Structure 1
Amino acid sequence: MEIAIEYVSDYSAYRQELQRCNQTVLGQPQPNDGRVYCNATWDTMQCWTYQLAGTTAHQNCPGYVTLSNPTVHSEKTCYPNGTWFRHPETGEVWTNYTMCFDKELMEEHQRVLSIYYYGFGFSIILLVISILIFSCLRQLQCVRVTLHKHLFFSYVLSGVMWILYYSLVSSDLDVLRKNELWCQALHVLTHYTTVCSYAWMFCEGFYLHALIVITFVKDTRLIRICYIIGWIVPIIPCLIYTTLRANDQDANKRCWTDETLLNWILAGPVSVSLILNLAFSVNIMRILISKLRSVQNNETQQTRRAVKATLILIPLLGLQYIAFPFKPDPGDRGEYEYSMTTAFFVSFQGAFVSLVFCFFNGEVLSLIKRLWQDFKDRRNPRHPKGSRRKSTTSSYILQELPLTSARHNSSGKVGRKDSKLPLPETHILVISKELCLEEEVEEEDN
């Protein structure tokens, strides 16, 4: 088989190989030893030097071609008359790249795609249910849950776009070859939703850090800032990326699926957001450990509690991605393992977050159980009408540690008293899975 140039995945390596061929092979004279040779040639994909007639040349498959395995060989046959082999059906000079695309490599690629499909699909289902739960339970209507809903919605959008992208673009070589406008637009929209999801991860860390560190903070101001960061700011790098890539002749190929330096326009802000979230987490843990040690005797136990509490933030803030900073080059050892691991964490992150902060959250489970009990009570004719229940939602991050006391006033400000004051230990702001700041909600059974 021949390889069309549209299937090149690394144009930088491709251009280097073409330049090397022109300088070191094509410019050399044919051997003058009285024997017959096929001429040196560039077959649009690899460089072939002069080959003795009646023999077959071999070299490693190109690593800059999609799904090509550089550990096996391509081959090109020279006829006894000194001409290159021609394909019997097309009559064109032909290089055999059949072995480059081995079955195992194709199967590995398909397994990675399957993880993405199943992971995103499963995450989308859980995230949509979580958003419905957060929206329907009025006891959970607070700023923290609002942030969760926007983060979850960004995960849903990103998951849907990646499923469409993988199924319609990256797996269809004909679509990549045609490089039509719609697939480029899908590429940009997919990356926009991805950047938005990282922006909302940053908003989660920013809000939590501001709530703990800043003495007075207005919830309405914070949430407006988060709206801008989460949905509007990602438009800027995406517009810059789109403009530059559309005008770059080398990068404007294959529906923009190839990695280029322009990808750093999108990866840069994402990397910065992860680094800032890591800094937020470290500072939060430092504050917790400091306060814990000031009020508790068992430092080791309390340090473990603080670390355990902070670990809850890892999937919420996307800190697990810091463990996978660099992708191995195609054909390198560990590339497949890296692809499988990142596919799992990327696609299932929405499921992890929805499970931890919704389905396994004690507050949510308690509210659902109480609503179910209320429903059964209403159907019970013996249940007295007009009875009142009082429900108190726990503070997001409220545990028994005298760090700060968070309270809302009518102006929307969060005032926090110094920890030296004799505050009840149940009114302390630290890290946990709880959702809303303490508020009493009365319900009347009809």
Structure 2
Amino acid sequence: MSQPRLLSLLLLLLLCCQGSSAQITDFVFENWKAYSEECHRNMSRLPAPTELVCNRTFDKFSCWPDTLPNSTASVPCPWFLPWYQKVKHRHVFKTCGPDGQWVTGPRGQSLRDATQCELDAEDLEAQEKFAKTYGSFKVMYTVGYSVSLCALLLALALLLGFSKLHCMRNYIHMNLFASFMLKGVSVLVIDALLKTHYSDKIDGYNVHIWLSDEAAAGCRAATVFMQYGIVANYCWLLVEGIYLHNLLVVAVFSERSYFTLYLCIGWGELAKSTLTLIPLLGIHEVIFAFVTDEHAQGTLRYVKLFFDLFLSSFQGMLVAILYCFVNKEVQAELLKRWQRWKLGKDLAEEYKHTYSHAPSARNGAGGTCEKHQLVSGCANGLGRGPAATRPGTRYLERTGHSPAEHLALGDRHLCYEFPETTAESHF
């Protein structure tokens, strides 16, 4: 990989993970614009050439004066380079052809010799080492944000899907989940944009490609999107803290209860999850607040970057686990839904199994009249007795119907009222 491509890629990648790097990129871009304006202003003040020369120009890297054919122009290294102090006494070279045109590459690109303006071998080796380390970190936090997004999406669906879980506490949790999702999506979108727009090979030291207005606008828009997600995330963490404070302090002390005892007994699970979230969400911010990017060098810089990226990417997954997946209420609702689904499935299987034998049962059953005579006219299905006949006779005499009429009127009712049994089933 050429050094210009490496440096441009590093500046753009660092823009995503460190605030100071974004400031450096803005600083370089502003200096580059100032250098370009100064170059054009100086060229406009010079008189027009009277002989054949390679015209004065700004090739997006250095400002070149009028140069005679078959000669090589030499100008100091441009002062917009971040490492300008190390190369300020060195020069960049450009060749003017015999036809009065600057020598260009096979595709018409501007050619120059900026070897002296490059970083030293030690600095370049350090940049390559950091690029490899950051590549490993990038894989880590990409996996972390992807896993967190899946966990948060599932947790949000569970809290929204169960109406019994709709309460103020879970509403706050759902908004916190959404803020974590917004931050994770923004980081992944930024990486995708950088890979899409800046993965092509850059020929030469063409800083115009990665310091153009379009590139800066895209990076700024993506960074604003990411910073909004981070701010929203911190705001909802603050809301969680305020709600927990009011729940434990205001309500408890208003009832004149013992706060410590109440916290240990009544809020044991909540206290455990809260004490887990405190170091998870805030301790590393406090520790590394005193270790700025300017002072963090060497191994300390890698350690700080690792913890920042690791905790930031996996925070969403851990919050979803603590606030949803290990929540007793959520587990109870899931268990109820599972039992209800399993019961419905078992009933459907039993219904299907029972009615699959219905034709054989109907074929072996007697007619309506037989069932009526068996149940109403026989004692236990064994024979006709006085106890069975006299009540039925008295009933017919009171109603004024003949036995045939009574059978016709009660036929439909008796077919559904009495089970299809045989005499042997009464034993």
Structure-1-length-normalised TM-score: 0.48
Larger Rg: 2
**Larger proportion of strand:** 1
* More helix as a share of residues: 2
Give the TM-score normalised by structure 2.
0.50
